Amino acid sequence: HSAEAHRTDLMTITRFVLNEQSKHPESRGDFTILLSHIVLGCKFVCTAVNKAGLAKLIGLAGETNGEEQKKLDVLSNEVFIKALVSSGRTCILVSEEDENAIIVEPSKRGKYCVVFDPLDGSSNIDCGVSIGTIFGIYALKDTHEPTIEDVLLPGKNMVAAGYCMYGSSCTLVLSTGAGVNGFTLDPSLGEFILTHPDIKIPKKGKIYSVNEGNAKNWDRPTATYVEKCKFPEDGSSPKSLRYIGSMVADVHRTLLYGGIFLYPADKKSPNGKLRVLYEVFPMSFLMEQAGGQAFTGKERALDLVPTKLHERSPIFLGSHDDVEEIKALYAAEG
Ligand code: AHG
Ligand code: MN
Ligand code: MN
Ligand code: MN
């Protein structure tokens, strides 16, 4: 399928979701409208991220843009809040950048709750390494005054999840609960085109992805697992280490190439670093939909019931067989 074919197919993300929606006659297009506003937010952030580099160059003279560049995660946050509220299809928003949940004003309320990390990997902004946006979507059962109880739900209750990666190309990966599909922004069309239909993660991979700098503080199962990656006992070849430091980029590579991504607990941070609602849950949802697994060290990640908005959890996700190995090590630890 050449890129040209994609263009003539014109399978844009909007058409794709409309096709999906036709399988759910009960939904009156609300989800499609919500998604089109998330897509709009991603396009805005994509251009801002690309311009930030240029702004930085211009800024070299005045050095003011350096500060502007850092504010990219604040700008992204404002863009997504505005886009989500203006969709008229949301009632609660939870952002990494806002301490409290945002309750949408009654006149603009809809039935969806969106949890999101507007700009993930912000430490990588200044050096031009891929960063991204992560989002998860819950649907309210009935219309009532929304409270944060409506988003303190296990990840398995999500109706959709996805991320947009701002890298050499702008790629949006989405699941609405029926598999995973990847779309690439065609700047000449201003549309996300279906480029990665029905993504399935390889059953086993040859890559492990972890910040080895935290090795001193790991617990025994994680330390043992990483040791086995480097010195396999069964004579197989060692795994390669790939760690970008942007979760979106590390997860995207894991989804396409296979392998395992780990952000374990350590003595300094007993719950690890990644946030449950808008990092762990969406990525775990996608991994399971692509045939992989996601594990917290204690349980299936999507079964976890968060009690606080910005709660953290250790996470081990990726190829089915690789995660199975670390689950066995934690089970043996008892
Ligand atoms: P954010 O930029 O949204 O705060 O997230 C950063 C996260 C995640 O993107 C990445 O996997 C992790 O931080 C990297 O952490 P370390 O630098 O501790 O490895
Ligand atoms: Mn993040
Ligand atoms: Mn972030
Ligand atoms: Mn952050």
User: Quick one: which atom of ligand 1 is closest to the CA of 120?
Assistant: 3
The model's pTM: 0.94
In tens, the pLDDT along 298-325 reads 999 999 999 999 999 999 999 999 999 9
The answer to whether the beta carbons of residues 68 and 76 sit under 8 Å apart is: no
**Residue 275, Cβ density class (10 Å: 0-12 exposed, 13-18 middle, ≥19 buried):** buried
In tens, the pLDDT along 214-248 reads 999 999 999 999 999 999 999 999 999 999 999 99
Ligand 2 centroid, distance to 281 Cα (angstroms) = 12
User: Quick one: which atom of ligand 1 is closest to the CA of 123?
Assistant: 2
The two tokens of residue 180 are 């995973």
Determine the residue of 246, 248, 252, 262 to mutate for testing ligand 1's pocket, defined as the one with the most ligand atoms within 8 A of the Cβ atom: 246
Ligand 4 centroid, distance to 75 Cα (angstroms) = 13
Determine the residue of 164, 275, 279, 316 to mutate for testing ligand 1's pocket, defined as the one with the most ligand atoms within 8 A of the Cβ atom: 279
Determine the residue of 77, 165, 263, 275 to mutate for testing ligand 1's pocket, defined as the one with the most ligand atoms within 8 A of the Cβ atom: 263
User: Quick one: which atom of ligand 1 is closest to the CA of 134?
Assistant: 3
The C-alpha atoms of residue 143 and residue 148 are separated, in whole angstroms, by 14
The C-alpha atoms of residue 167 and residue 294 are separated, in whole angstroms, by 25
The C-alpha atoms of residue 149 and residue 164 are separated, in whole angstroms, by 27
The C-alpha atoms of residue 237 and residue 231 are separated, in whole angstroms, by 8
Residue 224 phi, psi (nearest 5)? -65, -40
Q: What is the pLDDT of residue 26?
A: 66
Q: What is the pLDDT of residue 149?
A: 94
Q: Identify the residue whose C-alpha is closest to ligand 1 atom 7.
A: 121
User: Quick one: which atom of ligand 1 is closest to the CA of 263?
Assistant: 11
* Residues forming a β-bridge with 114: 93, 137
| Lowest-pLDDT range of 10-14, 279-283, 329-333 | 10-14
Q: What is the pLDDT of residue 155?
A: 98
Note the ligand closest to the C-alpha atom of 317: 1
Q: Identify the residue whose C-alpha is closest to ligand 1 atom 2.
A: 121
Q: Rounded to the nearest 5 degrees, what angle is found at the Cα of 35, between the Cα atoms of 31 and 41? A: 150
Q: What is the pLDDT of residue 260?
A: 98
Task: For residue 17, give the amino acid letter.
Answer: V
Ligand 3 centroid, distance to 275 Cα (angstroms) = 10
Q: Identify the residue whose C-alpha is closest to ligand 1 atom 11.
A: 247
Q: Any residues with Cβ below 6 Å from ligand 1, and which?
A: 96, 117, 120-122, 211, 245-247, 250, 273
Q: Identify the residue whose C-alpha is closest to ligand 1 atom 14.
A: 245
Asked whether the CA dihedral 306, 310, 315, 318 is positive or negative, the reply is positive
pLDDT band at 65 (very low <50, low <70, confident <90, very high): very low
